[in-house]
Structure 1
Amino acid sequence: MRSFDAVHVSEPGLVVVEVAAGDEATALAAVAELGERWVTSGPSEVWREVGEPGVRVRTYAKVRPSVG
């Protein structure tokens, strides 16, 4: 798994979501669905992990609204 910057989870409601799928189209569709529900960064570049099946993509999301 690739590392991420602590700022991406620096407050409540922020998450890093990594999607593993059999193909690029499915991975990107999953991230697009998340974007319909939450505010997201959109998909990262798709990558492959050596020795692992399929592809991976990451998005950063805010899963709850700001208070205030």
Structure 2
Amino acid sequence: MREILDAHVAEPGLAVVEVAAADDATALAIHQLLAARCAITPAQGTTREPGKPGVRLRFSLDLHQEPDS
């Protein structure tokens, strides 16, 4: 998974979110729910860690910006 950069959390209202879910559909549904409320980076796809259950999805969000229409 990509490194979290200082710019991603440089000020209040910016965050990096990592979703752990049982499957891709669930992780992407969480991404869509947050995308309806604030500006977020596009989902790059889920990752799987060998030997561990589920998937992970990481993205950044900005509470100051409105979501794209």
- Band of TM-score, shorter chain: 0.7 to 0.9
RMSD: 1.8
SS in 2 for 1:37: coil
1:40–1:62 contact (8 Å) kept in structure 2: yes
3-state SS, counterpart of residue 43 of structure 1: coil
Matched residues in 1 for 2:39 and 2:56: separation?
Answer: 20
1:53 and 1:47 map into 2 onto residues whose CA distance is 11
Cα distance change on mapping 1:51 and 1:6 into 2, 3 Å: farther
Tell me the distance in 2 between the aligned counterparts of 1:49 and 1:22. Answer: 12
Unaligned stretches of 5+ residues in structure 2: none
Give the aligned partner of residue 10 of structure 1: 10
Q: Which runs of 4+ in 1 moved over 4 A?
A: none
TM-score, with length taken from structure 1: 0.81
Give the SS at the match of 2:48.
coil
Amino acid at match of 1:10: A
- Corresponding pairs, count: 65
Instruction: State percent identity of aligned pairs.
Output: 46
Q: Which amino acid aligns with 1:13?
A: G
1:48 maps to 48
Structure 1 gaps of 5+ residues are none
